[in-house]
């Protein structure tokens, strides 16, 4: 029989049907070295808890399938302005992690991500996976952006992806973004 860990043995000894009874060698329910203390545990288990360092927090495992990854922190916000419209994704009271802008004068949709990495962005949706080239926008805080035509099928794929889509870029953590209506609103603004 495998010997249980000291933490479990201490708990089992308290749950023994005969808590005050003397230990007998070979008793499978109670480790005779671990007697209950007045504080409600075994002396050896208490010493072990004091001596053992707190376990390091484990990182949340990333599932192999991106459709099971947890969402990045944030929410979508839609706005209209003099240039057209913009949908911003990110945490409240912080700069956006991802933006989708309709520039009506240029008849372009710009997909921007916070950062300075000019490597291509890979967009994964439930129907399409595509890498798009990006350029620094030159603003503060820094963003990189990809220019898309309003009728680009990637925009539809992002808006209608099953629950989420992912933006990946070398050297940056992936963004797992919900597929909400703000994406399609910006796209439609540039098509009319």
Q: Mind listing the pLDDT tens digit of every residue in the chain (192 residues)?
A: 444 333 333 333 333 344 444 444 444 444 444 444 444 555 554 554 555 555 655 555 566 888 889 999 999 999 999 999 999 999 999 999 999 999 999 999 999 999 999 999 999 999 999 999 999 999 899 999 999 999 999 999 999 999 999 999 999 999 999 999 999 999 999 998
Let me know if residue 130 belongs to a domain: yes
User: For 132-161, what is each residue's pLDDT tens digit?
Assistant: 999 999 989 999 999 999 999 999 999 999
Let me know if residue 1 belongs to a domain: no
pLDDT at 41: 52
Q: Are residues 46 and 128 in the same domain?
A: no
Let me know if residue 63 belongs to a domain: no
Let me know if residue 60 belongs to a domain: no
Half-sphere exposure at residue 28, Cβ-oriented, CA atoms within 13 angstroms: 2
Q: Are residues 74 and 145 in the same domain?
A: yes
pLDDT at 75: 96
Let me know if residue 58 belongs to a domain: no
Q: Which residue has the tokens 């057209």?
A: 84
Q: What is the DSSP letter of 69?
A: S
Q: Are residues 29 and 108 in the same domain?
A: no
Let me know if residue 128 belongs to a domain: yes
Structural domain for 172, as ranges:
70-191
pLDDT at 55: 60
Let me know if residue 62 belongs to a domain: no
- Number of separate domains in the chain: 2
Q: Are residues 11 and 92 in the same domain?
A: no
Q: What is the largest CA-CA distance in the chain?
A: 88
Nearest to 110 by CA among 155, 49, 164: 155
Let me know if residue 151 belongs to a domain: yes
Distance CA 119, CA 158 (A): 20
At 75, list the tokens. 């929410």
Nearest to 72 by CA among 89, 49, 55: 89
Q: Are residues 83 and 145 in the same domain?
A: yes
Distance CA 100, CA 53 (A): 47
């Amino acid at each position: 029989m495998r010997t249980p860990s000291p933490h479990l043995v201490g708990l089992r000894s308290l749950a023994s049907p005969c808590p005050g009874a003397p230990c007998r060698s070979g008793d499978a329910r109670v480790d005779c070295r671990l007697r209950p203390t007045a504080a409600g545990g075994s002396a050896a288990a208490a010493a072990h808890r004091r001596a053992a360092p707190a376990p390091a927090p484990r990182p949340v495992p990333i599932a192999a399938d991106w459709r099971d990854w947890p969402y990045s922190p944030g929410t979508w916000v839609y706005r209209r302005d003099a240039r057209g419209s913009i949908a911003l994704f990110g945490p409240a009271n912080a700069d956006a992690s991802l933006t989708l802008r309709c520039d009506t004068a240029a008849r372009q949709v710009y997909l921007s991500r916070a950062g300075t990495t000019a490597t291509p962005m890979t967009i994964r949706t439930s129907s399409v996976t595509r890498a798009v080239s990006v350029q620094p926008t030159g603003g503060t805080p820094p963003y990189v952006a990809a220019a898309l035509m309003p009728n680009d099928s990637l925009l539809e794929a992002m808006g209608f992806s099953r629950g989420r889509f992912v933006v990946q870029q070398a050297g940056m953590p992936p963004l797992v973004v919900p597929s909400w209506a703000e994406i399609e609103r910006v796209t439609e603004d540039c098509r009319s």
